[in-house]
Structure 1
Amino acid sequence: MPPKSGPRSLRIHQSVARQLGVAILSGEYLPGDTIPRASQQAETLKVSRTAYREAVQILTAKGLLESRPKAGTQVTPRERWNLLDPDVLAWMFTGTPDEVFIRDLFELRNLLEPAAARWAAVRRTEEQCERMQVAIEGMREHGLDTPEGQAADQRFHAVILEAAGNLALATLASSVGAAVRWTTHYKQRASKQPRDPLPEHEAVNDAIAAGDPERADAAMKELLRLALKDMASAL
């Protein structure tokens, strides 16, 4: 039978990549472990060998796997994993995320986002201010326990990175957005009565709209401090 092609085949190999990625990130496969060959695993998963090989290629591109002659395909050392890849972040939050990784993620956000908010307060345009306000209204209307509210939260942080006026920083928008999405999703999933973080977002929004870099920096730091506290409670 010829390999399947088209949209369905694409969905299949992405699904297999997700399964393998979750297995690696959860510790089912450890660094140095050899994953099953296509001839074995494709039959187990009931997919074509082509789809399985394409899934392995996805994980190789994300730094989770490498192929060696005669040694097969092995899980790479953790420090080589592209942990800021949006897919990898999503897979990390499929189960209970690693607490050390959560700490590292928030430390990184603390380095980036307060500075971005400070610059945004100086460099933002009226159109960007309008989009931030629309995102705030979306969060208020839908709530962060809904996909629509979480998407609005992502847009809010993405616009701040854009408004900072730094192209190098803007390239991290998808990674920061994924971090915002999955930490929020996890907190909402894990907590029976999660705290409403809208007031901190409004404080950041107001400071940027007012063109006050000091206040924007401080407001973003407070937002992240409380978000990490919520995450610790959820874990």
Structure 2
Amino acid sequence: MDLAPVGPNDRRRLHGSIAHDLAVAIVGGQYKPGDVLPNEDVFSQKLAVSRTAYREAVRILAAKGMVESRPKTGTRITERARWNLIDPDVLAWHFEAGPSVTFLDSLFELRRIVEPQAAALAAERRTEADLQAMLVALERMSADNLSTATSLAADLEFHHALLAAARNEPLTVLSSGIGATIRWTTMVKQRVGAMPSDPLGDHREVYEAVAARNGPRARAAMLSLVEQAQAATHQAIRKGPARTDPVKNVEETRR
């Protein structure tokens, strides 16, 4: 892993930059579970940074379950099963390193487990304020079919409003992870040009079912939305250039 020495104006963000580059190297396989990271003296000298900055970076990764530090044995990469895989930062690092299609599918599987039932609960428990938040997000999404940062933010707001309407506190903990999954998979689709399909109709169907307080319809509509998003992501990956797309080619991953 190569990092350029950092100037004094970047000291505040230094430990975050070190954590980012270490994490991408770990996720990308440069460091594997069980490997020991360079000790802080070697690392700080190589990058011309303080040992304090390196320690802070390691603490960030440890908080996300990716490394553990022990006296005399150093900082070791942990097994993937211990990583907080739906942490927004960890997801971002995966997409930067290039996630496998298997990992992408596991994220969509999580969405299929969580979001349809959340939609059904939202249909039972939503308030007029919840509906208004979802409707505003829909209107913003309709402006440009998720082709800009503004409409993508509106898509995330729609899903956040839906989860909030379910009125389940533990469920809301998953909101940031699900939002990050939506954000990054949408960006995968955008990298190969226009969106493979228009997702607005699927979102509107979810909204109308929630507004009608029809739980089964809301559940089915959300399941369809997630399945369509997964299919569109696969389609985008197949069309994308193998050398530049951050997600590994579908057929290569399956071999």
Query: Which band: TM-score by shorter chain?
Result: over 0.9
Cα distance in 2 for partners of 1:43, 1:185 equals 37
- 2:76 aligned counterpart, secondary structure: strand
Q: Which ranges in structure 1 are unaligned for 5 or more consecutive residues? A: none
1:126-165 to structure 2, matched below 5 A, reads: 126-165=128-167
Match of 2:98 among 89, 96, 113: 96
1:1-235 correspondence runs (5 A): 8-191=10-193, 193-235=195-237
The CA distance in 2 between the partners of 1:21 and 1:50, in whole Å, is 18
Aligned equivalents of 1:196, 1:183: Cα separation in 2:
15
Q: Which amino acid aligns with 1:164?
A: A
SS of match in other structure, 1:66: strand
- Residues 145 and 185 of structure 1 are in contact (CA less than 8 Å); yes or no, is this contact kept in structure 2? no
Displacement after TM superposition at 1:63 (Å):
0.5
**Residue type of the alignment partner of 2:93:** W
TM score, norm. by length of structure 2? 0.85
Question: 2:147–2:194: 8 Å Cα contact kept in structure 1?
Answer: no
Provide the TM-score with structure 1 as the length reference. Answer: 0.92
Pairwise CA distance, 1:18: 0.9
Measure, in 1, the Cα distance between the counterparts of 2:13 and 2:94: 20
**How many residues were matched structurally?**
231
Structure 1 stretch displaced more, 132-141 or 7-16: 7-16
Displacement after TM superposition at 1:134 (Å): 0.7
* Displacement over 4 Å in runs of 4+: none
Bigger mean CA deviation after superposition, 191-200 or 202-211: 191-200
Task: State the 1:69 CA deviation.
Answer: 2.5
Cα deviation 1:47-88 (Å, max 9, x = unaligned): 322111101110011000011222211110111111011110
Q: Secondary structure at the match of 1:194?
A: coil
Report deviation, 1:19: 0.8
Secondary structure in 1 matching 2:206: helix
Query: 1:143 deviation in Å?
Result: 3.3
Question: Which one-letter code corresponds to 1:79 in the other structure?
Answer: A
% identical equivalent positions: 49
TM superposition shift of 1:91: 0.8
Q: How far apart, CA to CA, are the structure 1 residues paired with 2:158 and 2:65?
A: 29
Q: Deviations over 1:76-118 (max 9, x none)?
A: 0111111011110111111321222112111111111000000
Q: For the residues of structure 2 that align with 1:191 and 1:69, how far apart are their CA atoms?
A: 50
The range that moved more, 46-55 or 132-141, is 46-55
